[in-house]
Amino acid sequence: MRIIIASDHAGYELKENLKKAFADRFDFEDGGTFSEDSVDYPDFAHPLSERVAANEFPYGILICGTGNGMAMCANKHRDIRAGLCWHPDIAKLVRQHNNANILVMPARFISEQTAVEIMEAFFCTDFEGGRHQRRIDKINI
Ligand code: RB5
């Protein structure tokens, strides 16, 4: 599966490690950043979200220090459902219930192992539909 991943400086190291950990499972498009030099998270969240919303990629991954800045930016985009995940069970539920198309992770608050488990949960879980479809149909304004 081809997916897009991006981070700011706070998420750079985790982004690089996740690309290596999942190199055999995903064809990653790297939307930056490309070093630990300080950058502004909206400059990475918005381009990635536009590309996911345009169906260029089925899913995206955004990583910053807390995850909140990335999630706030991504969720400004119509048809983007970005979920901030700090535990594998939340990643599972954000797919089952919210049909999330962007996984957001807080690099400063989770270990690399937890991030791997979150990615496993997110990408191995399908949307349940049913009553959840009705709810996500009400998200766009
Ligand atoms: C960068 O210091 C930090 O503010 C950013 O990574 C993120 O946590 C913002 O929400």
Domains and CATH numbers, the chain: 2-136 (3.40.1400.10)
Q: Looking at ligand 1, which residue's alpha carbon is closest to its atom 6?
A: 65
97 annotated active-site: yes
Q: Looking at ligand 1, which residue's alpha carbon is closest to its atom 7?
A: 65
Q: Tell me which H or E stretch contains 5.
A: strand 2-7
Question: How far is 69 from 89, CA to CA, in rounded Å?
Answer: 22
**How confident is residue 78, by pLDDT bands cut at 50, 70 and 90?**
very high
Q: What's the whole-number mean pLDDT along residues 14-43? A: 98
Q: What's the whole-number mean pLDDT along residues 57-82? A: 98
Q: Percent of the chain, pLDDT > 90? A: 99
pLDDT confidence of residue 111:
98
Q: What's the whole-number mean pLDDT along residues 135-139? A: 97
Active-site position among 46, 73, 77, 97: 97
Q: Check: CB of residue 34 under 8 Å from CB of residue 27.
A: no
Question: How far is 111 from 134, CA to CA, in rounded Å?
Answer: 35
Ligand 1 binding pocket, CB closer than 6 Å: 8, 10, 41, 64-66, 68-69
Q: What is the mean pLDDT of the chain?
A: 98
**How confident is residue 7, by pLDDT bands cut at 50, 70 and 90?**
very high
Predicted TM-score (pTM) of the model is: 0.98
Q: Looking at ligand 1, which residue's alpha carbon is closest to its atom 3?
A: 65
Q: Side chain identity at 81, as an amino acid letter?
A: R
9 annotated active-site: no
pLDDT confidence of residue 105:
99
